[in-house]
Structure 1
Amino acid sequence: MEASANVKQDLLKAIPNLRAFAISLCGNPERADDLVQETLIRAWANLSSFTEGTNMVAWLYTILRNVFYSEYRKRSREVEDVEGRIAATQASPPPQEGHMNLRDFRQALDKLPDDQREALILVGGAGLSYEEAAEICGCALGTIKSRVNRARTRLAHTLAVQSAHEFGPEAEWQAILDRTGSSRASR
């Protein structure tokens, strides 16, 4: 099948979102690039199985997800690289507060069960609808909603979040104002 210009444009437009999803799954930008590349190769090779007019992004996410889990199963049988593990312990954490929060968030996200993390990334990170995420994961709509809710609840508990106002620069300014306001009130 000769690919139409629209299909080619849709493939190109999906690359940043595919990369973000791949990074969320594997946590490694270089490996994520490889996943996206493999996804695009498989999509291009199987373009005849894609029905033009349907959801290209959902089709690509499904391919990427399948590639990731196939590679994950292969890697689980491999012996771990000892030098890689030692190198990872030598990394120094970034000094900026935002980077620390992101690292904490990433660690908390990694602790989620795979199905909950995947659902949260698709709905919260990739901006897909619950219906699209359910289609990609091959489960019922209610199951995706439940997984997202459980994932959000677990993240909030793990990160000890009381409200959404605890994040971002506004939270830092609010903490400063609260301290200065409380010191004035005590005078």
Structure 2
Amino acid sequence: MMIPDALLQHFDAFVGFARSRTGDPELAADLVQECLLKALRSGQAPADSEGVVTWFYRVLRHAIIDAHRRRMTQEKALPMLSLELPESVSPEDEKTLCQCVLKMLPLLPEADAELLRRIDLGGESPTELARATQQRVNTVNVRLLRARQKLRAQVEKVCRSCATHGCLDCDCG
């Protein structure tokens, strides 16, 4: 097939073109490969080998522009997201936490309750806890997951409204 051969003959030139516009060799190679796949699958390339190269440069140029747009969107969104997500629970949010959850902790096995108190309520990281208790981090994370599942089951059993709709403004007694 003549068209793929014409594109593959110019592969290095395409990568160089993309690299000069993105400044990132890996991104440039990825964009060229993605565009080659799209071009080969589309079946809409010009019939002559010179026309297909020109056409492919146009396809590649559009892909580079789209990559720049995605990067700009990410660069704008990430700082905004970090501003929206607090480092820790604020005192106002803490007041709206479901108080029945705190009452259910003693109903769990002591090791699970202690794990939830230290990590979820106390803010200790699983890594810190693993180091302090001489456990592997994966072990602590698995235990934490299981403890949360047990607490969730307890909440569902006792307080169906909170389990379904969340614990905001809980009126459970």
TM-score normalised by length of structure 2: 0.41
Bigger radius of gyration among the two = 2
What's the TM-score once normalised by structure 1's chain length?
Answer: 0.38
